Structure 1
């Protein structure tokens, strides 16, 4: 490898340290505290070694083996994340409609749970960091929640500036964080080196045989050590597999293991440290600097999770699962760095409510885990479908790998299910609400398209009629946006009916979103010339692209049709949707919900970046 390539990989690995590993890197703030906390297991010698063994082997099996070695193989043209994985799995099951439906349901629910994680992660991370004040100065305890809310509000405000501007400090700050927690871990291990025996998996097995049901409950806290693993996969397109793996195995994993074992050694030395083993591990003189560093690290981790929600929203929008909304690009170099104002405001309100409502990381620990582990199970199932249908794995190989991975995932998920009553209902409720919204929007759009197609005229006989009975023709090009180029667009019929004219050239334009992140050059445009000055133009965009119609039309000359924007007029039908009819569709409340969402969605013309001075909108009523 050339020196320049090595420097580039090193730079990407440093960036991955800040963006990809911010969440999992701040887990030591609260994981062992939850394992041995008020609802945890007693901090005996065997329990400490057993819990550390479970944490260590969870990092190895879940992060190293499952995500870095297996899941990251399922890249959708270099892109990752649950929406990209869902699209990849659906593409591999095109000939099986029922399997495609099951994949869609799994993917949507996994994405919905990710939004729940996007609320809980910033709340528990920042709250855990600020709670260091209770160790440094107990009399400041009542300031913890207000300071946390202030940090969260500042985080929401800085989001609009984008990862591009504040990303320059992500890597270095998190690098200092990992070096610091590793050094603290070494200090703790030096006090009680026998803690290293916990590297043996036998201690984890004995933890279950000795504690029985209590060990299962503790597993719900151990899973906190592997939260943030979805970021490894979701950010694959930004950094690449190599740099992400390099950062993990050579830097992040050793630092985490050292800190966890240092905390364990401290608990063995001083059982009273279980109140907050992370901060009790810090020398008294360094407490306030460590609180500041921890707060910065958790803000970075939270920013990465929220940014992931922005990216996933854009993908879901393109795939037709959420209404169109404003997307702001925050980087000229990386298209994946986006800001979605509506999502930012919604998450900000929910995060603040979580902090004010739960008031401590201990309480939030009970709510944390269900969304994460649910997404982990779904990711495994989708990846197994890809392995069988696309990679050509044999059925026995899929069963062996699937049983191994799902045993771990379902173990964690089951351990968190029992926390529903004590707070786990919160992210689950959020996920169910988002799932309901996404499925309602998807089904509603299908019903609208169905009604438009059923009431449409076939284009072929219409063109014949225009040739036999030609209307008045005017100069220029008319572009009619339509979801079905085989029928006459409502806007064309209304224009002909009311204005009594037809343009010299009439283009039926259809925009299609692919199940790949980027459309290849040869599939971006498809032109079919018809008789009578008509033609069909198909524009294809990947789900990670912005559908800029004028920019794509500027390249249409290579398929045999050129556009002069000053001589082109766009015609669009704006549907006025009527709910509550007796037509078969959705429940009445879902129809009304869909109408509300449609009214507040960003207009298609703005979404497709069609200039307002070249646009004519004609209304059409659609009953569902």
Structure 2
């Protein structure tokens, strides 16, 4: 991916770290960054096939969609491309906005750093086509008040959506964990009991945030590492036992055949496929707590291979148990390991919301620095890593919002509808910002920009359209919440 960004514009703030530190951060990042995407195997197939599986070959089509979705968006887009668009080591939408403001006078607020003004007026002597294109886009952006306003509003919208994810992720994670307990003990775990236990767990989860990312990440990392090894091991077991030929699902032809057979229903089912990439935005938002290389290592060597093997194993199991799609994960667990894995699944669901809670702290710090959020006290929890922060007031507000939403929605289905829309909006808007960065700052070959837009952008727009299909079934919540946050940010910025 080095061809996508110019070496002259390497990310700022990426000071060389010792390998021992990088590996430690990679280990901690497993406990903070990947909880959300790591719990997706519990419900992805049941969400895709909400009306049961009609044709056995549809399993291969869905499996192929899952494989290419995880490969294209979390791995290729975020790990190898978006992470490079950080601002002095910090990630998130406001980090991209700040980065763009360093190279062009597009901010509608005074620059917070004197050196930014000098950088933005820099004129290069080179007359090559890429530089001329970058300068032309820079000039157009600087001379258009509408463009400046649009960039700022889009930044606020995207940021509000990510904070919305930070509210919805803990809710859906904890509630889905106790949905699993409902399967194990339906007579004991009524809806009311499940909701109140979920609220108690959420309160406890937010209370431990005060100990800082370092301690929380290290504690959670042990659980997540065991979890990823467990789902990978179960996947290998299912592949070997039920269908070693399931690897043929990696052939994209099965996606085409799946859409030919199911047409509109295939498009609607993409709303379920979205759930396998939830948490991808946290890879970027949380990078300031760790480092780019540490997040890349943990994704490439732990999370990605474990997820792919886990989904392949579930596909192999479903090929022989087509009627068990509603409880694919739990039914595919070997009998002797059921209860240990069940307990592990509950624990992982509870801590899976950590990624976007930490990301929300980072985003609020960035928006505060750019004058787009009311002033709050920021505590730096590590003397070694500047990005590991804690914001007490934001933590308490997130906790209150989570409790209210959990009490109001009560079910995983309604929460997932709201969650899918928020996730895809953030991803689409991040792609739009990245195109600006590629052309204006990295001076990427225009052919590569077009290819990126056609592949990644098209896939994300299709996913967003499918998520919006369930707007009336709870999906509106994320947009209402984002509108409320945008109002606060814009008024604070304007005043």
- TM range, normalised to the smaller chain? 0.7 to 0.9
| Higher strand proportion | 1
Match of 1:265 in 2: 316
Structure 1's 53 and 288: CA in aligned 2 closer, same or farther, altered over 3 A? same
Q: Which moved more, 1:219-228 or 1:181-190?
A: 181-190
Match of 2:464 in 1: 413
Deviations along 1:40-92, whole A, 9 cap, x unmatched?
A: x6353111111110000001111221112221221222222111011112333
Instruction: State the 1:306 CA deviation.
Output: 0.9
Match of 2:423 in 1: 372
Match of 1:75 in 2: 86
1:55 counterpart = 2:55: no
Q: Where do residues 178-577 of structure 1 align in structure 2 (5 Å cutoff)? A: 178-189=228-239, 190-444=241-495
Paired with 1:307 and 1:235, the residues of 2 have a C-alpha distance of: 6
Paired with 1:13 and 1:5, the residues of 2 have a C-alpha distance of: 12
Which entry has the higher C-alpha Rg, 1 or 2?
1
Instruction: State the 1:362 CA deviation.
Output: 2.5
Match of 2:35 in 1: 22
* SS of 2:443 mapped into structure 1: coil
CA contact (8 A) 1:52 1:260 kept: yes
CA contact (8 A) 1:182 1:258 kept: yes
* SS of 1:252 mapped into structure 2: helix
Match of 1:124 in 2: 172
Q: Give me the CA root mean square deviation.
A: 1.9
1:85 counterpart = 2:96: yes
Structure 1's 294 and 357: CA in aligned 2 closer, same or farther, altered over 3 A? same
Paired with 2:346 and 2:480, the residues of 1 have a C-alpha distance of: 28
| Higher helix proportion | 2
Deviations along 1:269-301, whole A, 9 cap, x unmatched?
A: 223322221122223444443233223223332
CA contact (8 A) 1:208 1:215 kept: yes
Match of 1:157 in 2: 207
Match of 2:128 in 1: none
Match of 1:621 in 2: none
CA contact (8 A) 2:206 2:395 kept: yes
CA contact (8 A) 1:323 1:441 kept: yes
Instruction: State the 1:434 CA deviation.
Output: 0.7
| Consecutive aligned runs of 4 or more in structure 1 exceeding 4 Å deviation | none
Paired with 1:362 and 1:176, the residues of 2 have a C-alpha distance of: 28
Paired with 1:133 and 1:291, the residues of 2 have a C-alpha distance of: 9
Match of 2:114 in 1: none
Structure 1's 118 and 76: CA in aligned 2 closer, same or farther, altered over 3 A? same
Instruction: State the 1:252 CA deviation.
Output: 1.1
Instruction: State the 1:6 CA deviation.
Output: 4.2
Structure 1's 250 and 164: CA in aligned 2 closer, same or farther, altered over 3 A? closer
Structure 1's 16 and 343: CA in aligned 2 closer, same or farther, altered over 3 A? same
Q: Which protein has greater RCO, CA pairs closer than 8 Å, 6+ apart?
A: 2
* SS of 2:403 mapped into structure 1: helix
Paired with 1:376 and 1:123, the residues of 2 have a C-alpha distance of: 21
Aligned length: 439
Paired with 2:294 and 2:214, the residues of 1 have a C-alpha distance of: 19
Paired with 2:194 and 2:150, the residues of 1 have a C-alpha distance of: 44
Structure 1's 287 and 146: CA in aligned 2 closer, same or farther, altered over 3 A? farther
**What 5-or-longer segments of structure 2 have no aligned partner?**
1-16, 106-138
Paired with 1:323 and 1:12, the residues of 2 have a C-alpha distance of: 31
CA contact (8 A) 2:234 2:333 kept: yes
* SS of 1:389 mapped into structure 2: helix
Structure 1's 257 and 325: CA in aligned 2 closer, same or farther, altered over 3 A? same
CA contact (8 A) 1:43 1:267 kept: no
